[in-house]
Amino acid sequence: MTKIVRVGVTFPPALLRNFDDVIRKMGYESRSKAVQDAVRLFVSERKWLREERGVHAGVLMMLYEHEVRGLESTLTHVQHHYANLICSTMHIHLSERDCLEAIAVKGNVAEIRKLSDELAAKKGVKILKTMLVSV
């Protein structure tokens, strides 16, 4: 059996109330399980930032203004350059101005980081969130 380690965590009262409200609505039976899941998610989201090697898979979620001149063409060009990493894309029209694109990726983590950084740096890209897991 895996040994369990007990730790203490301090919270500002408002954050703890919000946390308890969320986990209650989600059906968690204990704070411990919810904190474990939150820590697992945090580690998974941040771990890839430190790694230089290894195969990862995940999704780049990009919110951008499609009316910025030349942006869609530029984004397509960048994605074609990284075609070896990109498994699939899904394009969603959110409003007259904004589009959301989900880009499924799998490959070397350093190359995925380059793709993510290159897309995020383009004028008109409002948000780019990278969610990866080790394969």
* 89: CB partners within 8 A, 6+ apart: 79, 101, 102, 103, 104
Judge whether residue 8 has pLDDT over 80. yes
Q: With respect to CATH, is domain 55-134 assigned 3.40.50.1380?
A: no
H/E stretch holding 22: helix 13-26
Query: Residue 52 is encoded by which pair of tokens?
Result: 């230089």
Judge whether residue 60 has pLDDT over 90. yes
Torsion, Cα 80 85 87 89, to 10 degrees, reads: -50
* Least confident among 61-65, 66-70, 95-99, 129-133: 129-133
Residue scoring higher pLDDT (135 or 17): 17
Residue scoring higher pLDDT (34 or 2): 34
Contact indicator for 43, 35 with CB cutoff of 8 Å: no
Judge whether residue 108 has pLDDT over 90. yes
* 85-104 tens-digit pLDDT: 999 999 999 999 999 999 99
CA 20/CA 29 separation, integer angstroms:
11
Residue scoring higher pLDDT (50 or 16): 16
* 59: CB partners within 8 A, 6+ apart: 102, 103, 104, 105, 130, 131
Give the pTM: 0.73
